[in-house]
A and B are shown apart, each in its own frame.
Chain A
Amino acid sequence: MERATTVQQPAVTTGNSAVYVRDLTVVKEGFRILDRVSFQVAEGSFFGIVGPNGGGKTTLLKVILGLQTPSGGKVLVLNQPPGRSRHVGYLPQKVTFDPRFPVTGLDVVRMALDRKTRSRLGGLGTDEALRWALDMSGMTRKAHLPLRQLSGGEQQRIFLARALVKRPKLLVLDEPTLGVDASALDGFMHGLERIREDRNITLLMVSHEHTVIRYHTDLVLCVSRTASLLGRSQDVTTELLAKTFGHHEHPVEHPVDGGG
């Protein structure tokens, strides 16, 4: 497998890439999780990341979010070091929280709006931001319910609204469709497309879902300690993905799939 060759000219300006990663290496407890990974995510694009379990996808996202310190290499997120920009939204694979925590869905979305943001937006602006985020994630009607009464997929959409409410320029999604059932998948993905068109948000998504990767993303990167660009998503066939994942891990082919 060839190493990623997306960064053809190292001296190129990073002005119009939302994420710039060059020679990123992460070593944890003596294990080389990521080895000289390089790629760029163009502003406004929908960038997919695939790869086998334990291949370092989540670690890569954590570096980009500033949750994991890299051992080497250079990473810029919205032209700043990771963890610095306030314009990054994050939807984790599964948000762990104590089910006894007494919150409504709306409370959870509101958590993202700190004092500074609220005073900048003002009362009306804050309400408008909340309404927009809930509308985009399709949770307007159920937002007032206690979080523990919502289904897994609904909770995930509340967390999507939380990631959106500050109107990020970059939205990082880690397997967001894992808890979403087949019937709701299309709606969820179309929501993401809408968000992207509406706000010109850059989307960076890790996913196992073949249909999601194939029909929604622009470019696909495979991360398995090293990174290789698989190319434009239309060219990414099931066979190529299966080969990439190896024999142990097959990408999920969605059972109810009307697309394509």
Chain B
Amino acid sequence: MSIPWSIPWTAGADMGMLGLGFFQRALLAGCLTAFICALLSPHVVLRRMAFVGHGVAHAAFGGVALGLLLGWNLTLSGLVSGLVMALALGFLTRRHQVSEDSAIGILVAVGMALGIIALSMRQTYTQDVFSFLFGSLLAVLPGDVPIVVGTAAVVLGLLLAFGRSLWVFTFNEELARVEGHRTELLRFVLMGLVALAVVIAMKIVGAILVSALLVVPGVCGLNLGRGFLGATFIAVVTGQVAVVGGLAASFWSGWPPGATIVLILFLIFLGVMVAKRVQEMTAAESA
């Protein structure tokens, strides 16, 4: 198997032909994606939804492969299959008939199985599929830009409308319900938001690595931030630094962008852990 991401931009001539348009698109999509992932990240961490993101990404991969076979718009088919996965997960776990991790275990496998069968039915090999699995700087096509921007706008709108309710809901579901919040709806809203964020993040980071963008910023924010808004702010900064740094490093080194972003996220995470440790030790000394 050839390594798909190494082809286009190690051959310098191609880069000149493409111009910077593809990189600007990747940067726009990457920053928007990281922004909404970071806004959701504290919820994902506190509600232990990390694997929901993982599951949605794999289901979306199945949808992308299916879209490739049938000639649909790949981003849209990924978006739809991701949302279907989120809904299925919501319904399966609603009455606790199936635990969340089991439901994800089932649906991840089904999504991948569908994707693999769809791919096997195609005779020609295409690189597109791999860019969805591992992410690529070239994956954001001009036609994807409105989809990414639109999705981000929808996520932001929903967060503005439901933000406070989600805060109360994530803290404790039972009290939220007694106080009149529609917790069933909120559960689906949060799943749907995660699905939307994951699917547009997949283009650059890839299905396999996407959950890092949902988890690491939140962990950093919750460790350093004061209050929920403070934690969210640090999560946003973490996400932006990782994406801008990762894409730039990827552009110059030819490393795949998703993996580069994940490594930068990990370095930030290590830094936060060390900072936290130092903070605790000085606090213990002064006490």
What residues of chain A have their CB less than 8 Å away from a CB belonging to chain B?
A: 65-67, 83, 86, 88, 90, 92, 95-98, 100-104, 107-108, 111-112, 114-115, 159, 162, 166
Contacts and interface: CB of A to CB of B under 8 A. Distances in A.
A114 B172 CA distance: 15
A206 to B, nearest CB: 15
A103 to B, nearest CB: 7
A95 B175 CA distance: 8
Contact of B172 (A88, A97, A102, A166): A97
A162 B175 contact: yes
A65 B178 contact: yes
A86 B172 contact: no
Contacts of B164: 114-115
Interface of B: 45-46, 164-165, 167-168, 170-172, 174-181, 222-223, 225-228, 230-231
Contacts of A112: 175, 179
A104 B167 CA distance: 13
A149 to B, nearest CB: 12
26 contacts: A66-B177, A83-B178, A90-B178, A92-B175, A95-B172, A95-B175, A100-B45, A100-B46, A100-B222, A101-B46, A101-B170, A101-B171, A102-B226, A103-B171, A104-B227, A107-B228, A111-B167, A111-B171, A111-B175, A111-B176, A111-B179, A112-B175, A112-B179, A115-B164, A159-B175, A162-B175
The secondary structure that dominates the B interface is helix
A93 B84 CA distance: 37
B49 to A, nearest CB: 12
Contacts of A90: 175, 178
A101 B170 CA distance: 9
A88 B178 contact: yes
Nearest to B181: A114
B174 A97 contact: no
Contacts of B176: 111
Nearest to B227: A102
A98 B49 CA distance: 13
A107 B172 contact: no
Contacts of A101: 46, 170-171, 222, 228
Given A66-B178, A103-B171, A103-B227, 16 more contacts: A66-B177, A86-B180, A88-B178, A95-B174, A96-B172, A100-B46, A101-B170, A101-B171, A101-B228, A102-B230, A103-B228, A108-B171, A111-B171, A114-B164, A114-B179, A166-B179
Contacts of B45: 100
A102 B228 CA distance: 5
A66 B175 CA distance: 12
B174 A111 contact: no
Contacts of A92: 174-175
Contact of A102 (B165, B175, B180, B231): B231
B183 to A, nearest CB: 10
B172 to A, nearest CB: 5
Contacts of B222: 100-102
A131 B227 CA distance: 20
Interface centre among A96, A98, A162 (most CB of B within 10 A): A98
Contacts of B165: 114
Nearest to B46: A98
A122 to B, nearest CB: 18
A107 B175 contact: no
Contacts of B230: 102
Given A86-B180, A102-B231, A97 B171 contact: yes
Nearest to A111: B168
Contacts of A103: 171, 227-228
Contacts of B228: 101-103, 107
B165 to A, nearest CB: 8
Contacts of A65: 178
